[in-house]
Structure 1
């Protein structure tokens, strides 16, 4: 192990966590052969196999599990050291690693941009991904903060609500329901609904709401992100439940309309989350405080600036 490099340990941790050389290469922005070569060299240093293939999935050997636990400890200690050294300088500077679910990409960059304007020596690292990948990184304690609409109940985390997440049902302007008022949930359940993948926070919230009324909703079509869903609605494929933050341009351009449905808008919260016991750097802690103290006000200002969004939907 004295011959193993930190880069090899970082790559091994990613391969072990994702159980895939291909996915690890994508995450680290490397080619698959480059990662494979480094894993081969690491196995030679250890003197024992670290992986075994079962079907198409990689699994850790006993030696691999021992190395994985050690890797996580070493990499976390190095991250803590990096944060501690930066904090000793007493300056809000250095990296802030953020991972956000796809729906948050419509507002988080604005907040991050305002924060960077105030603290120009901060180095933001923003990754947008789906909920499943975000939870993998959260479980591995890979980053400083995670932005999501639904906090997992099976991981030891600390959550910080900072922004209202307004969920609305949208349709094309020429959809017959667009001119109706107080549409029942039963009527909506009978429509073609375009939904997110299983596990999505939005999907879970919608399913729970309909279940309380004794109704079951299943997507007519599943798409991976808000952009794809919006285009599906605009193409006439069905209705969809989306966060208001993702609809600024389409509502302003009158490409979509918000339906008047009972029990909607569905009001939830956006959360910043990190693992319990995590020591945040001064830069990450300052950004977290900014989200809590000013995030809602900044986004309200953004929406007010785009006042045409609410012109036809005064109740949103």
Structure 2
């Protein structure tokens, strides 16, 4: 081989490290250029050329001939220890990738929810999803509104389900269910006989309210203040709607709750009347970060929330946006 040809071969193979390294590893395994060439479906001269280019590139001999077999030199042993995992990894990449795709077809689904959503809206959906997709690792994260938005922005969850009074510009919100604000009272309470209670009717009765920093308290306060109707808070109770319903049922006051928290079991201990004339309805829906790709697992769950939602919203930049 002329110096010019050797120089050309050296730089040709330097542009593709994998080919000479693969040839080197095969010769190291089989101890023969001819066997390595057969294994690689190459000619013997092609394998020899790659080994020569590799030795010139590194500036050290990698093999020594003992009888008819090629054995690794000390430098060759070092290179083989380093190159073998890389070559095996590349050669096995397609198979490993396909195996990983099969695993991903089961996959994992992370959903952020508020307490009310998790307690009242999600149970039947989770049961139906688990029945259809038992191989998916489902994780429900109980969060406040700001926490849920932070998880969405950090891609720590696939999507969120809940109420979003103010929708930020970097997320998409698709309402799914809408609930009336409801007055709840104990059984036999005077307000229970009024089909359409006014704010003035509520004024003389103590309210059992969630903490002041929550949306419900702020909305109640705003509505009474705007109407210039006085009201009284008998007690504040943290812990969610179930705690508030319990205290109302005990006769410790009345309350204004979202209709999402009222079920058949409450009929035996509470009276409920819609206050939609005075307070805004509350919607619960799917919240997705703009540009977020929805996995098949996420799409399957959203389809349970409301069939056809993804198909309808795709033309409007809804949850199916990618």
TM over 0.5: yes
Do the aligned partners of 1:98 and 1:125 also contact (CA within 8 Å) in 2?
Answer: yes
Q: Look up the SS of the partner of 2:246 in the other structure.
A: helix
**Superposition pairs for residues 265-304 of structure 1, below 5 Å?**
267-293=281-307
Matched, 1:240 2:255: yes
1:263 is aligned to 2:277: yes
The aligned runs of 1:133-172 (5 Å cut-off) are 133-154=147-168, 156-172=170-186
Aligned-pair distance for 1:171?
0.7
- Indicate yes or no: 2:131 matched with 1:120: no
How far off is 1:262 after superposition?
6.9
CA distance in 1, matches of 2:103, 2:116: 34
Residue 200 of structure 1 and its aligned partner are, at CA, apart by 3.0
RMSD (Å), alpha carbons: 3.2
Mark the CA change 1:116 to 1:87 in structure 2 (over 3 Å): closer, same or farther. Answer: farther
Structure 1 gaps of 5+ residues are: 1-83, 296-316
Report if aligned partners of 1:87, 1:282 keep a CA contact under 8 Å in 2: no
Deviation of 1:256 after TM superposition, in Å, equals: 0.7
State which drifts further: 197-206 or 104-113.
197-206
Structure 2 equivalent of residue 36 of structure 1:
none
Please say which structure displays the higher CA radius of gyration: 2
Paired residue secondary structure (2:300): helix
Residue 241 of structure 2 corresponds to which residue in structure 1? 226
Q: 1:133 to 1:190 in 2, by over 3 A?
A: farther
Corresponding residue for residue 95 of structure 1: 108
CA spacing shift, 1:165–1:283, aligned 2, 3 Å: same
- How far did residue 255 of structure 1 move? 0.6
> Contact conserved, 2:181 with 2:280, CA < 8 A, in 1?
yes
Residue deviations 1:194-217, cap 9 Å, x none? 222344343344445445534465
Assess, with a 3 A threshold, how the Cα gap between structure 1 residues 201 and 260 changes in structure 2: closer, same or farther: closer
| Residues 150 and 199 (structure 1), Cα distance of their counterparts in 2 relative to 1, 3 Å cut | farther
Question: For 2:105 and 2:284, how far apart are their aligned partners in 1?
Answer: 24
**Which runs of no fewer than 5 residues in structure 2 stay unpaired?**
1-96, 310-322
- The aligned residue for residue 213 of structure 1 is 227
Aligned mates of 1:176, 1:199 — CA distance in 2: 30
- In structure 2, relative to structure 1, the CA distance for the partners of 1:139 and 1:193 (3 Å cut) is farther
Q: Which has the higher contact order (CA 8 A, sep 6+)?
A: 1
- Which secondary structure state, in structure 1, belongs to the residue aligned with residue 306 of structure 2? helix
Q: How far 1:107 moved relative to its partner?
A: 2.0
Superposed CA offset, 1:132-170 (max 9, x none) = 543443454421121222244446211111112232110
CA distance change for structure 1 residues 114 and 176 in 2, over 3 Å: closer, same or farther? same
CA deviation profile, 1:279-298 (whole Å, cap 9, x unmatched): 22221122123323279xxx
Specify whether residues 85 and 293 from structure 1 end up closer, same or farther in structure 2 by C-alpha distance, changes over 3 A only: farther
Change (3 A) 1:211 1:273: farther
3-state DSSP class of the match of 1:107? helix
